[in-house]
Every structure is written in C-alpha cells, then in structure tokens.
Structure 1
Amino acid sequence: MLNAGTNYFYCQRDLGRRETSGRWTNVRWAKTDDDKGNTNVFVSDVYISGGDNDRPLPGLPVC
C-alpha cells in the first residue's frame, strides 16, 4: 500500500500484466518500498503521474 502523495521508485519493468484505470493503461510496473514496510513492491505505472499509455515513465530506469 502506498499513501497518496510523493513516493520514490527505483526502476520499472514490463511484468507482462496489463493494468487499466480509467483512461490509463500500461504493462510497466515501478519498484518501490511501500508504506507498510514491504520492500521491492511493484506498482503499476498507471497509478503514477507523469507517463503516457503503454510508455515507460520518463527518467525512471529499467530494472
């Protein structure tokens, strides 16, 4: 679980699973540590602002 607001991400990769939320869709997932203390958690790029459909997030390296 990530709380709304500013979060950090290490990298992103295609996990082969498409996630869709409203008009946003992507197969890329970003790796982070969540707000409950879990490490190496992947969050779909559709929930991170700054990207486009089916495109990597700009400036975030590939895992």
Structure 2
Amino acid sequence: QKLRRGSDMIGEWILASWDAAWTLHVWGFHEAKLDSEAVRRRAKHIRKLIMESEKIIG
C-alpha cells in the first residue's frame, strides 16, 4: 500500500528499484542463486533508491 502510494507520488522507478533490492536480498543473499552479472544489473536501481532516499531524509 505505502509503496504503491510512493510510486504514484515519486515515479514508477521506485517500484522497480524496490523489486530489484528485494530480489537481490532474497535470491542473491538467502538463496545464493544470482550470479555476479545479475547482481550488477540490479545495483544501479538500488543505488538510485538509496541516493533518492538520502535526498528526502536529508
């Protein structure tokens, strides 16, 4: 619910970034199913999520 509201306010990129972060956490860390290329491809989305969050938080 909150993520949907956030994506409506901020933009659809936040949903893609959150999905990338979740996938990396679950399939990369817990399940160890992602290779280095899969991690690299998600990193830019996660980086944007962190950078934009820092701007909002201050």
| TM-score normalised over the length of structure 1 | 0.21
| TM-score normalised over the length of structure 2 | 0.21
